[in-house]
Amino acid sequence: MADKMIDADILIIGSGIGALSVAGKLCKEGRQITVVTKGLEKACNSSLAQGGISVALSKEDDYRLHFKDTMAAGCYQNDEEAVMTLVSKAPDIIKEFIDTGMKFDTDENGELQFGREAAHSLNRVIHAGGDKTGLLVVEQLLRNINENVTIMKNEMALDLCVKDGKCNGVITRDPTGALKHYKANHTILATGGIGQLYPSTSNDTTITGDGMAMAYRGGCKLKNLEFIQFHPTMLTIDGNAYGLVSEAVRGDGGILINENGDKIMEGVHPMKDLAPRDVVAREVYAHYLKGEKIYLDISAIHDFKERFPTVTEICESHGVDLTKNLIPVGPGAHFHMGGVEATPCGVTNIDGLYAVGEVACTGVHGANRLASNSLLEGIVFGKLLAEHILEIERKAPDFEYIMPEHTVDILPEKSEIQNKMMEFVGIVRHRSHMGEILNWFEQFIPKGCDTFAALDLTKTTNEQIEVYNMLTAGYLIAKAAMDRSESIGAHYIVD
Ligand code: SIN
């Protein structure tokens, strides 16, 4: 049992674009929303997103072309209906968002500017503040919420309250250390993905697979966990990654070269530097494994600093002299295509529990996400989830959370998990080695359990739960990778 019981109508775990899109619509209908977030409100992947939002709004474009590109990038492993819902609703929903005051970059005539990113057949990506799209979208969404939304910062969600397939909320620990049971009519997972399971990542430090691990403990169906997208161009110095160098840099003419100045994507794929992201990431990684340094040559890009203020800031603060026109890069974990199985309206197999954004697997991204489709997913499917909730009446079922008895004796360092994940379920995978990582994970399963079951929260710190969530998510990803024997998209097997 928790220290405090709090009644909530709608409880959202996480504070990124998916979460705020749901909250923005529901609060205007007078619904009371509580958002709990592990860090500060802007500590999420959405705020770090540099690339923009892909939407078929230009004169040359059509949502059917957007559909085609999304399916091709996803290796046709996508859920066609979900993709069609996303791309066909996107133009109107993005126009509505602009009407709330959101300012995307425009040309001298005040028309939206459309940029190019990998695997798009034409320029389709809108940006804000150059490469500050995610942050500016989050800030606009925060302006769009009203006093019906309460944001609880530095409060970690620890376990979902699920009984007989029905959810009645979540257990959190607030900054004073009190365990709270929010009893909610609707509980929404919007916790983001799993980037911190890997040593190099573009993800925020809070993104440790918590949503997926909690969903697993609560009995949620999970899907496509083996599909993890690596971004080819993180700023990388001496093997350490320091942030993203947006694909829009290649869209604007940046070219990947090796130390001799050879263009590494030449002859690898007809779209060269703008080939699908998995193809480019693998090529960069292959050079990296040979001990070569790879650079993004930006000499063809005019006004680089104005066009890419965030990339400029990241580079300059790490001593990269941009006048030399070379940015050292390497790949890093970027986006999880898999997650909690959900419909475009966020419905999961657990009554009263929904998933939106990266934690959800609606099937739109298939085996490899098309660039700039993720902020779009958060906005479009966030709105659909809010509309769904407005249509149904649900009261939280009446039950208490029974504190589990299991505890953990030993836990590894986060860096150990990250290195194992990269070695065994990274950019290139060997099925013959995967048994090894599964055995490694299994030593951390609590005594008396046959899997990563829920823990006694009174005897476990938030830091321990975070590591336990990483173990849970890593174990499930490795199992899913073991179960899929063929190479598809981001799941690339060499044996
Ligand atoms: C980027 O800016 O390269 C990332 C865009 C995305 O992941 O969609």
Q: Residue ranges of the domains in the chain? A: 5-194+204-209+337-391, 232-333, 403-494
Q: Decide if pLDDT at 208 tops 80.
A: yes
Alpha-carbon torsion (134, 139, 140, 142), positive or negative: positive
In terms of DSSP bridges, do strands 360-361 and 339-341 run parallel, antiparallel, or are they unpaired?
parallel
Tokens 């496509």 — which residue? 224
Q: What is the CATH number of domain 232-333?
A: 3.90.700.10
Taking the alpha carbons of 308, 422, 160, 218 in that order, is the dihedral positive or negative? positive
Strand partners, 186: 10
Q: Please name every residue paired with 54 in a beta bridge, in sequence order, or none if there are none.
A: 125
Q: Give the residues across from 301 on adjacent strands.
A: none
Q: Is 46 in the pocket of ligand 1 (CB under 6 A)?
A: no
Asked if residue 154 lies in contact with residue 38, where contact means CB atoms within 8 angstroms, the answer is yes
Cβ–Cβ under 8 Å, residues 445 and 171: no
CB 58 within 8 Å of CB 114 = yes
* CB hemisphere CA count around 261 (13 angstroms): 2
372 in contact with ligand 1, CB cutoff 6 A: yes
For residue 326, list its beta bridge partners.
297
Q: Which protein residue has the closest C-alpha to ligand 1 atom 4?
A: 51
Locate tokens 């794929």: which residue?
269
Q: CATH for 403-494?
A: 1.20.58.100
Check whether 48 has a pLDDT greater than 90: no
Residue with CA at minimum distance from ligand 1 atom 8: 372
Q: Tens digits of per-residue pLDDT, 438-479?
A: 999 999 999 999 999 999 999 999 999 999 999 999 999 999
Q: Which of 231, 233, 375 to mutate to test the pocket of ligand 1 (most atoms within 8 A of CB)?
A: 231
For the CA of 229, the nearest atom of ligand 1: 7
Q: Which backbone phi and psi does 25 adopt, to 5 degrees? A: -80, -45
The alpha carbon of 213 and the centre of ligand 1 are apart by a number of angstroms equal to 25
- Give the CATH superfamily of 5-194+204-209+337-391: FAD/NAD(P)-binding domain (3.50.50.60)
Predicted confidence (pLDDT) per residue in 393-448, tens digit = 999 999 999 999 999 989 999 999 999 999 999 999 999 999 999 999 999 999 99
Tokens of 218: 């609560």
Helix (H) or strand (E) holding 479: helix 462-483
| Of 335, 329, 322, the residue nearest 234 (C-alpha) | 329
> What is the model's pLDDT at position 40?
76
- Residues forming the active site: 277
* 469, 206 contact by CB (below 8 A): no
What is residue 51's predicted lDDT score, i.e. its pLDDT? 81
Distance 121 CA to ligand 1 centre (A): 16
Position 455 scores a pLDDT of: 98
pLDDT digits (tens, 9 = 90+) for 122-172: 999 999 999 999 999 999 999 999 999 999 999 999 999 999 999 999 999
Token pair 């999880």: residue? 336
Residue 339 CA to ligand 1 centre (angstroms)? 19
| Any atom of ligand 1 within 6 Å of the Cβ of 50 | yes
Q: Is the CB of 374 under 6 A from ligand 1?
A: yes
Q: How many A from CA of 51 to the centre of ligand 1?
A: 4
Report angle CA 14, 17, 18 to the nearest 5 degrees. Answer: 70
pLDDT of residue 1: 75
Best substitution site from 137, 334, 336, 365 to test ligand 1's pocket, by max atoms within 8 Å of Cβ? 334
| Torsion sign across C-alpha atoms 118, 120, 122, 125 | negative
Question: Which residue, 186, 197, 222, is CA-closest to 13?
Answer: 186
- Mutate which of 247, 277, 374, 375 for ligand 1? The one with the most ligand atoms within 8 Å of its CB, which is 247
Q: CB–CB of 478/434 below 8 Å? A: yes
35 CA to centre of ligand 1 in angstroms: 26
Beta bridge partners of 106: 112
Write out pLDDT tens, residues 73-124: 999 999 999 999 999 999 999 999 999 999 999 999 999 999 998 899 999 9
CA pseudo-torsion sign 143, 356, 215, 367: negative
List the beta bridge partners of residue 332.
Answer: 231
Tens of pLDDT, residue by residue over 232-284, are 999 999 999 999 999 999 999 999 999 999 999 999 999 999 998 999 999 99
Output the six-digit token pair for 446: 């609590």
Contact 104, 95 (CB under 8 A): no
Question: What is the number of helices (H) and of strands (E) in the chain?
Answer: 14, 17
- pLDDT of amino acid 495: 85
pLDDT of 203: 94
Q: Locate the ligand 1 atom nearest the alpha carbon of residue 372 and give its number.
A: 8
Tokens of 213: 């691990």
| Global confidence as pTM | 0.96
